[in-house]
């Protein structure tokens, strides 16, 4: 039996585009002689559809798409993902389903059993878990068909009480197929291969795993669909961060030409994740770079936006965002605005200019001194003779934010935010100033990762001027200001933040790692007392296992560690 995997990039709610893409995949599979073609989880409507699922019209369009796709299944089996209505009065109104289509009919519909409700997932908000489990018979083979999370229950402390494959294996299937929408983070590729291989070895069956690719606002799906033989050998691996297609023949020789084990089963993800060092190694940075490019590109293309704007300060964060945006959108579509004040150093302007010359993007220089002075003049009757403080610093930042948004409104640009995760964690940013933007590019990358990204961007030639990378970071809102005036050194700060945010370690555990107790308490307090700022922030491209935004839900008025 020849089985095709179609790894595609869908657009949530764009039924015309998604359906056309699926039909094209069916035609390609037919042309290559496939008996069956597999698409990813909720491929018909795109993942995650969230509250769109509460609209009958949305579900009706999903059903209409199934009917349209069904016409093309005359000689080929097709597995697509989409919601199905629950006819039982009890429970949720929908199932997350895999539709098996063949001979222009709906032959069988399989329901997802394990519905994740953690981090970015909220499936139990919408879907009812499966009531029963049946293999899918097709051309003399029995397929154990599951959906994404259904294969992720093989841990020492399972999150769920039932594993669908434990039920399906009793029916003696010949192979396993999993359709998935598994988001990217810099550990996910290894953990995903681990879990697929563990299922293969447990059930002694080959598995074909089809993941989607593409970015949906803040969530990036990296593809990387895989095929394993029953011995745990990697037979096929599709591309990462782009669409791909393959056909695999399942026969008595299946797996004999495999590449060997994809991973060392003795390696535990938790061991590598215990320190921050793995976040800045070349492989991780390469993947983060590609994820951010895809995140920017898909956000703009799916929203119908053409051009971006950002404030270019001559600092490392704006430099990296500018370089990434130029690569994602084309340099001609990214406009940099340099907004020096009386506190800006000469090299900040020259560094920012050189960066734009290296990239070839348009830029403008708009000094803010006159506007800033006008603000202070009007505020003097209220500020009186109070000493210079953070209020005057933030007025500069908000002046810049106002200018950027004015240009954005005038010409239809989308403002890219340049704040990094270290700053967002600690509240080192100005609401309605440098925290303004339509999309945050670096909001899930720590400062140490931003530096690593800059070096990666410069891996073949100097794009980001070396002075931007080597100079001490500064907001330049007062004479001689450095980030370290307000924050610890970033290598120490990021270590603490990573342990607290990604690994959910408490103060005692972090102090036990050798970090000063007072410093730990100070950093954690900064994180928790600045939740109100992050709650007003724009969407952040997610590249870690715990990003700010929909995947991290903290009370604003909480007292814990504050």
The residues near 92 (Cβ < 8 Å, ≥ 6 apart) are: 86, 124, 126, 127, 128
Q: Using DSSP, how many helices (H) and how many strands (E) does the chain show?
A: 17, 19
Annotated ligand binding at 423? The verdict is: yes
In the annotation, is 112 catalytic? yes
The residue to which tokens 């068909």 are assigned: 145
How many Å separate Cα 14 from the centre of its chain?
20
Annotated ligand binding at 118? The verdict is: yes
CA 485/CA 112 separation, integer angstroms: 52
Contact 412, 437 (CB under 8 A): no
Annotated ligand binding at 313? The verdict is: yes
Annotated ligand binding at 311? The verdict is: yes
Annotated ligand binding at 533? The verdict is: yes
Annotated ligand binding at 287? The verdict is: no
Q: Residue 536: which of 508, 510, 556, 517 has the closest Cα? A: 556
In the annotation, is 210 catalytic? no
Catalytic hit among 21, 70, 112, 421 = 112
Catalytic hit among 41, 123, 393, 502 = 41
CA 541/CA 299 separation, integer angstroms: 10
Annotated ligand binding at 394? The verdict is: yes
Annotated ligand binding at 182? The verdict is: yes
Q: Around 126, how many Cα atoms within 13 Å sit in the side-chain half-sphere?
A: 23
CA 426/CA 149 separation, integer angstroms: 34
Take residue 76 and report the two structure tokens written for it.
């080929």
Catalytic hit among 62, 70, 128, 148 = 148
CA 262/CA 226 separation, integer angstroms: 10
Annotated ligand binding at 126? The verdict is: no
Provide the greatest CA pair distance for the chain: 87
- Phi, psi at residue 500, to the nearest 5°? -80, -45
In the annotation, is 62 catalytic? no
Known binding site for L-glutamine: residues?
118, 182
Known binding site for deamido-NAD(+): residues?
394, 423, 533
Known binding site: residues?
118, 182, 311-318, 394, 418, 423, 533
Q: What are the catalytic residues?
A: 41, 112, 148
Known binding site for ATP: residues?
311-318, 418
């Amino acid at each position: 039996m020849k089985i095709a995997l179609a790894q595609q990039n869908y657009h949530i709610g764009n039924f015309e585009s998604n359906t056309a893409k699926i039909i094209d995949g069916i035609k390609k599979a037919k042309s290559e002689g496939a008996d069956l073609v597999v698409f990813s989880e909720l491929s018909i409507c795109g993942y995650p559809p969230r509250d769109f699922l509460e609209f009958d019209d949305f579900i009706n369009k999903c059903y209409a798409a199934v009917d349209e796709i069904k016409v093309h299944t005359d000689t080929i089996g097709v597995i697509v993902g989409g919601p199905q209505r629950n006819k039982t009065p009890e429970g949720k109104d929908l199932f997350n389903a895999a539709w098996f289509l063949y001979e222009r009919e709906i032959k069988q519909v399989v329901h997802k059993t394990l519905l994740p409700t953690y981090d970015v997932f909220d499936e139990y908000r919408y879907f009812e878990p499966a009531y029963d489990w049946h293999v899918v018979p097709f051309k003399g083979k029995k397929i154990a068909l599951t959906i994404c999370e259904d294969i992720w229950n093989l841990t020492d402390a399972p999150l769920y009480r039932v594993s669908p494959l434990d039920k399906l294996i009793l029916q003696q299937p010949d192979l396993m197929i999993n359709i998935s929408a598994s988001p990217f983070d810099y550990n996910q590729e290894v953990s995903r291969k681990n879990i697929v291989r563990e299922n293969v070895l447990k059930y002694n069956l080959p598995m074909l795993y089809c993941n989607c690719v593409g970015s949906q606002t803040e969530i990036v799906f990296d593809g990387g669909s895989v095929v394993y033989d029953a011995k745990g050998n990697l037979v096929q691996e599709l591309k990462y961060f782009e669409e791909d297609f393959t056909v695999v023949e399942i026969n008595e020789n299946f797996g004999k030409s495999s590449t060997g084990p994809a991973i060392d089963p003795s390696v535990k993800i938790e061991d590598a994740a215990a320190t921050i060092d793995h976040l800045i190694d070349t492989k991780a940075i390469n993947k983060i770079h590609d994820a951010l490019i895809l995140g920017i590109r898909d956000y703009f293309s799916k929203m119908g936006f053409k051009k971006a704007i950002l404030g270019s300060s001559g600092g490392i964060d704006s430099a990296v965002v500018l370089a990434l945006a130029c690569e994602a959108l084309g340099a001609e579509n990214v406009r940099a605005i340099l907004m020096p004040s009386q506190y800006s150093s000469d090299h900040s302007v020259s560094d920012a200019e050189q960066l734009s010359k290296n990239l070839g993007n348009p830029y403008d220089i708009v000094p803010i001194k006159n506007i800033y002075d006008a603000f202070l003049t009007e505020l003097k009757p209220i500020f009186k003779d109070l000493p210079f403080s953070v209020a005057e610093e933030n007025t500069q930042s908000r002046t810049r934010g106002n200018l950027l948004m004015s240009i954005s409104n005038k010409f239809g640009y989308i403002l890219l935010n340049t704040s990094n995760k270290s700053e967002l964690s600690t509240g080192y940013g100005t609401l309605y100033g440098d925290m303004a933007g339509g999309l945050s590019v670096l909001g899930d990358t720590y400062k140490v990762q931003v530096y690593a990204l800059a070096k990666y961007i410069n891996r073949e030639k100097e794009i980001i001027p070396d002075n931007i990378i080597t100079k001490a970071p500064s907001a330049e809102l007062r004479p001689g200001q450095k980030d370290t005036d307000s924050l610890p050194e970033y290598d120490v700060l990021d270590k603490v933040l990573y342990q607290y945010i990604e690994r959910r370690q408490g103060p005692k555990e972090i102090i036990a790692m050798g970090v000063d107790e007072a410093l730990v308490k100070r950093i954690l307090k900064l994180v928790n007392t600045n939740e109100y700022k992050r709650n007003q922030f724009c969407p952040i491209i997610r590249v870690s296992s715990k990003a700010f935004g929909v995947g991290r839900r903290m009370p604003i008025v909480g007292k814990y560690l504050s």
